[in-house]
Structure 1
């Protein structure tokens, strides 16, 4: 039960939430995803990952965020749940599928959307612009004039970056590439929301998945450095510059919540345990350890998804120390619960939520 003065922040990666799926009603996967959200505590702010941004795909109708809200979230999916409504949403532009003009894939510049060669040469891998983007929903007013995005922040401008430059690798960045290549796989955005008791900065991100796929890709060092950027930003580092040229990280004393599928788990050696060192142990963060019945059954109590490498905690809701945490959890039902199959049909991830109060 949520009490007065408490707020629910949630994160949910809905696998491949494409325009084709969300722009029609009755898509079974999205009905299941909406039900998962409706079975969780009512979120005051919800980040949905992997939602196509159809505004950069030439789509002239409703934005996918509106379609998902109107046709799925607001509609109770079964008799024993209520619809979920939000007052506002924001879908920041992402780097996925945006051509870089560079031969990032080292196989000639790919110019035909939909091809692997095209996807590999984008600022972030995707077969077309707007793929794997995200939307943040809010029940409270978004302070739109104060939103900061860092989509164009250059990887080389991160102090002590881990950019691969060795030409003996499968993939690397040349000196010229380094001058132009962006750090965020999607974007990093600081979205201030006006809660009844003051502003909270919702810092959202979805870093590169650190998958090698038998190659020396850019993903592992990029994932590490994206997470380090997040940690530095909330710690108030001076070097971050946003897409409007404003310098500096989050000022000390500002309340925030980090939301995102960070694509790495605590203790993961391939990313040098970036999420622990830069976020979970960050002195400005109040760590949370959500769990679920489904995860506990597989000896992975804090897992938030069933990935190719097994159950893992990769989705995070991390409030600042200004908040107290009264509850947190993962929406992964036990095997004998009636909606377990529905949960696994919705996505390879599960909703993660945290209840905070001053």
Structure 2
């Protein structure tokens, strides 16, 4: 565990694994040391169900999180409280204010928890609280040193040109980041992040390089050698659940849009999603930010979670969701979460976003059986319908799962 430890509110913030880990106890506690069930004799799979949830909350900035009474975040909290109580919750687009110059005394993830998630949003609802969260550093708004758009280097934070030349689009470091909340201890010593993994180190990377494109946006061979694949980060965050270490594999790839004929973002989305699929299948080419090589072992349970910005059959990203997630032999993808609202609005019950696509996923490994799941997109006339529309352009997705019987 590295970095300085300091107290914030009723929790302790630990700088660990390329991000901020928060727990209710002190160093040497369950989260820091591996938690309960760390010895072989303690490990035994429970038949109790566990709920995993994913929610991209539109532009969850410090200005919103750090103050009470933001209508959008009240709506987002109401959505979470209206679903089955999540054991593990991933929030995307939550600015990492501990990474940028906008740092405050309280991490945005903790502020969102205390100001909104833990506060009942209706008389018939209960607040949702978590003892632990991990907020990894993000590539968004981090200068790449590469003139990605080939229109000159943009070095001053604060505008789109700067964001386009960053490792991941962001007008300042840590914009559009993420946080993983957990009711169960996080195994801090085994967190792996892949923020510095280079695109060039993926076999068959599909990157738009200079030898493939003679005009427009491309990466020279030298630029590709230094360019990071992950637009935010990829992280493996082990959580101890009933004596079993479950790997939360979290990410938020760039959308396959906002580019030109070279399809830079479509190609990058393909590779970012593929990295998830390859990692959970144990790919040997993968290395983490500490230099450790290799993916997950074949018998390690996991849940892949995130706004993947990819749907099965999308040609712009080479059907990366279909090939590397839905059809992945290590992933339990049937049934996929669905909703009446998505069927009404989009015509696809599995859609998770207002821009008519299936973008958000909670995908358990085959060690699990799915007991229930849903997209939080109510039908027309449901009083929760305007609430989800106020909360975000994405819909929360949840999956209730239990370890499969031997």
TM range (shorter): over 0.9
Question: Which of 250, 257, 273 does residue 211 from structure 1 map onto?
Answer: 257
Kindly indicate whether the alpha-carbon contact (under 8 Å) linking 1:305 and 1:313 is maintained by their aligned counterparts in 2. yes
Native 8 Å contact 1:53 1:63 kept in 2: yes
Q: Distance in 2 between matches of 1:285 and 1:216?
A: 31
User: Do the aligned partners of 2:263 and 2:316 also contact (CA within 8 Å) in 1?
Assistant: no
Q: 2:275 aligns with which of 211, 222, 229?
A: 229
- Kept in 2: contact 1:172–1:217 (CA 8 A): no
Choose the corresponding residue for 2:392, options 342, 347, 354.
347
State the match for 2:185 in structure 1.
Answer: 141
Is 1:129 the counterpart of 2:129? The answer is no
- C-alpha separation in 2, matches of 1:224 and 1:84: 34
The residue aligned with 1:300 is 348
User: Could you tell me how far apart the structure 1 residues matched to 2:238 and 2:390 are?
Assistant: 33
State the Cα distance separating 1:116 from its structure 2 match. 2.2
User: What is the alpha-carbon root mean square deviation over aligned residues?
Assistant: 1.3
Cα separation, 1, equivalents of 2:81 and 2:320: 32
Counterpart among 300, 321, 337 of residue 382 in structure 2? 337
Over 3 Å counting, the alpha-carbon distance change for 1:4 and 1:286 in structure 2 is closer
- Normalization by structure 2: what TM-score? 0.85
2:98 to 41, 44, 55: 55
Match of 2:76 in 1: 33
Indicate if the aligned counterparts of 1:212 and 1:220 stay in contact, CA closer than 8 A.
no
For residue 367 of structure 2, what is the aligned residue in structure 1? 322
How big is each residue's C-alpha offset from its partner over 1:152-206, in whole Å with a ceiling of 9 and x where there is no partner?
0000000111010134242110111011000001111000000014110000010
Which of 238, 247, 255 is the aligned partner of 1:192?
Answer: 238
Distance in 1 between residues matched to 2:153 and 2:66, nearest whole Å: 32
Q: Does 1:113 align with 2:157?
A: yes
For residue 329 of structure 1, give the secondary structure of its aligned residue in structure 2.
strand
Match of 2:123 among 79, 86, 107: 79
In the aligned structure 1, how far is the partner of 2:177 from the partner of 2:164?
A: 17
Matched positions, count: 353
**Matched position secondary structure for 1:34:** helix
User: Which range moves more in the overlay, 65-74 or 291-300?
Assistant: 291-300
Return 5+ residue gaps in structure 1 as ranges.
Answer: none
Per the TM alignment, residue 57 of structure 1 is displaced from its structure 2 partner at its CA by 2.0
1:150 and 2:198 aligned: no
Of 98, 104, 118, the residue aligned with 2:142 is: 98
1: CA distance, partners of 2:310 / 2:295: 23
Match of 1:268 in 2: 314
Structure 2: distance between partners of 1:210 and 1:121? 17
Q: CA deviation at 1:46?
A: 0.4
Distance 1:143 1:76, change over 3 A: same
| Structure 2: segments with no counterpart, 5+ residues | 1-45
Counterpart in 1 of 2:108? 64
The answer to whether 1:247 aligns with 2:293 is yes
